[in-house]
């Protein structure tokens, strides 16, 4: 038996593939990873799964009649073709669309975690190819934390709170006494990073918080979103109601005079516009704890107690990316900012405001740049939001959504790769 270890990488960590007679039969963690993800145990099954697509497949009707066969979508089988045939088919359609509609008829902004790495990342290679061959319609933002990327620069000046770099875990352990996590920080989420990572340190960082005596509160519908290593207190909130609880926290700080007016006046803009909404002067409904309790399912006294604790000690607020993956997803992040700044007292500054997912993926800080490739700038100055739907809301008022419709005929080019590599576990998305 010919057995060897092959170094490889995945979105859930580096590992050594165990290969016997040319077949992947297991995976061994990277020796320098202090907390390897158990997801690598599924590498062999993912590579050889019978549900995996190992080669190009084309819908039978399209293969027979071309683009006029749309009525068969969702009902017809897919037929295996050679890579050469698949390349010819795609190249022919690209040429036809470019000839009939111009480069603005090609959408090349699909998103995917198809490859662990930054040089061979499929979407980047796709955009490079389409830009070099005449241009395409790109996408703005992304499907993961797209709301935050678009919204936070208007509030905080940049999107750094969700992209990093951020305050280090060691600084948090040293300077923070209360760590409040909206959406929690489930270990299974912090172990996964697009592009992969070779050093999982979040569990160790949480353990350090516990040793430092930092009190942690998990505000989430799911108890397990709070890692056991930090022994978090759990506030069970109804899904998608975080905004209401954050408003009630700010309302308590305001009515009990626990906010810092001088800080808000000097360092923040817009609080006078928020104030009438919080107090109810704008709509006859104070955003107090009783109002929030009926919406969130969190007792009014629990919300009041948390607001007082936040004002009394050095507090850090975090929010998971999941909070903004919804209609009007900017609202919880907006209130997140409001609650943090309202609780910032001159004698007890909050430690930080950041997304715990960004912190998990960005720490430790990179000491060198990633390998890069030269990419021609797309000659088509046109892009679509991802997803193609935008919501515009007033500061705190009930929001109304506006749907953005793309009228151009677009050919969507997927960034998911199915190349015949020896190990292609990273094409399996969990």
Same domain for 226 and 248, yes or no, is yes
376 and 351 share a domain? no
Number of domains in the chain: 3
Residue 63 lies in a domain: no
* Percent of the residues in the chain that have a pLDDT greater than 70, as a whole number: 77
Residue 288 lies in a domain: yes
Residue 68 belongs to a domain: no
Distance CA 167, CA 221 (A): 27
Task: Give the dihedral sign, CA 107/111/112/113.
Answer: positive
| Partners of residue 139 on adjacent β-strands | 384
Same domain, 286 and 333: yes
Domain contains 209: yes
Residue 429's pLDDT band (cuts 50, 70, 90) = very low
CATH of the domain at 329: 3.40.228.10
* Rg (alpha carbons) of the chain, rounded to whole number: 25
Range of the domain at 388: 82-137+371-427
- What confidence score (pLDDT) does residue 149 get? 87
Task: Tell me the per-residue pLDDT of 361-412, one tens digit each, with 9 for 90 and over.
Answer: 434 445 555 555 666 666 666 666 655 443 332 223 233 323 233 323 333 3
The backbone torsions φ and ψ at residue 62, rounded to the nearest 5 degrees and listed phi first, read -65, -40
353 and 400 co-located in one domain: no
Q: Specify whether 243 is located in the same domain as 304.
A: yes
What single DSSP character describes residue 371? P
Q: Are residues 319 and 279 in the same domain?
A: yes
Is residue 348 domain-shared with residue 282, that is, in the same domain?
Answer: yes
* Residue of 195 and 397 predicted with greater confidence: 195
| Domain stops at, among 309, 344, 362 | 362
User: Within a domain: residue 129?
Assistant: yes
Q: What is the mean pLDDT of residues 65-84?
A: 91
Shared domain check, 332 and 188: yes
329 in a domain, yes or no? yes
Residue 272 in domain: yes
**Are 223 and 277 in a shared domain?**
yes
Peptide bond into 365 cis (omega under 30): no
Q: Which residue has better confidence, 294 or 230?
A: 294
Same domain, 294 and 397: no
pLDDT tens, position by position, 88-120? 999 999 999 999 999 989 988 766 666 666 677
DSSP assignment letter at 32: T
Residues 261 and 396 in one domain: no
How far apart, in whole angstroms, are the C-alpha atoms of residue 48 and residue 50? 6
Report whether pLDDT(218) > 50.
yes
Is 270 in the same domain as 353?
yes
- Dist. CA 251–CA 342, nearest whole Å: 9
Q: Which residue has the higher pLDDT, 361 or 29?
A: 29
Residue 378 within a domain: yes
* Mean pLDDT across 331-347: 73
User: Looking at residue 330, what is its pLDDT?
Assistant: 87
């Amino acid at each position: 038996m010919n057995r060897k270890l092959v170094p490889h990488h995945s979105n859930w960590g580096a590992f050594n593939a165990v290969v016997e007679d040319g077949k992947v039969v297991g995976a061994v963690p990277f020796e320098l990873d202090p907390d390897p993800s158990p997801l690598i145990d599924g590498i062999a099954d993912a590579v050889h799964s019978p549900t995996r697509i190992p080669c190009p497949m084309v819908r039978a009707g399209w293969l027979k009649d071309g683009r006029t066969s749309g009525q068969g979508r969702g009902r017809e089988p897919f037929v295996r073709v050679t890579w050469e045939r698949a390349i010819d088919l795609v190249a022919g359609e690209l040429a036809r669309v470019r000839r009939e509609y111009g480069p603005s008829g090609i959408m090349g902004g699909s998103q995917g975690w198809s490859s662990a790495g930054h040089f061979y990342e499929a979407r980047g290679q796709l955009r490079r190819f389409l830009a070099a061959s005449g241009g395409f319609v790109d996408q703005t933002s992304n499907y993961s934390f797209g709301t935050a990327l678009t919204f936070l620069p208007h509030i905080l000046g940049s999107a750094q709170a969700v992209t990093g770099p951020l305050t280090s875990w060691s600084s948090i352990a040293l300077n923070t006494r209360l760590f409040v996590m909206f959406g929690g920080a489930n270990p299974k989420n912090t172990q996964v990073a697009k592009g992969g990572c070779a050093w999982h340190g979040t569990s160790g960082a949480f353990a350090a918080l516990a040793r430092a005596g930092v009190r942690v509160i998990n505000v989430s519908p799911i108890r397990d979103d709070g890692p056991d290593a930090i022994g978090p207190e759990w506030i069970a909130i109804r899904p998608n109601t975080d905004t209401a609880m954050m408003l009630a926290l700010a309302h308590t700080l305001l009515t009990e005079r626990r906010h810092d007016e001088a800080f808000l006046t000097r360092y923040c803009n817009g609080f006078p516009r928020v104030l009438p909404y919080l107090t109810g002067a704008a709509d006859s409904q104070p955003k107090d704890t009783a109002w929030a309790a009926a919406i969130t399912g969190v007792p009014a006294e629990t919300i009041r107690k948390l607001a007082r604790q936040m004002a009394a000690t050095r507090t850090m607020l975090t929010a998971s990316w999941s909070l903004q993956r919804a209609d009007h997803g900017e609202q919880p992040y907006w209130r997140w900012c409001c609650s943090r700044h309202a609780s910032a007292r001159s004698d007890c500054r909050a430690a930080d405001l950041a997304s715990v997912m960004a912190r998990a993926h960005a720490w430790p800080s990179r000491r060198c740049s990633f390998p890069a490739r030269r990419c021609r700038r797309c000659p088509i100055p046109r892009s679509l939001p991802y997803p193609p739907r935008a919501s515009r809301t007033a500061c705190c008022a009930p929001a109304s959504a506006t749907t953005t419709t793309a009228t151009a005929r677009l050919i969507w080019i997927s960034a998911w790769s199915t190349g015949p590599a020896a190990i292609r576990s990273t094409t399996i998305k969990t």
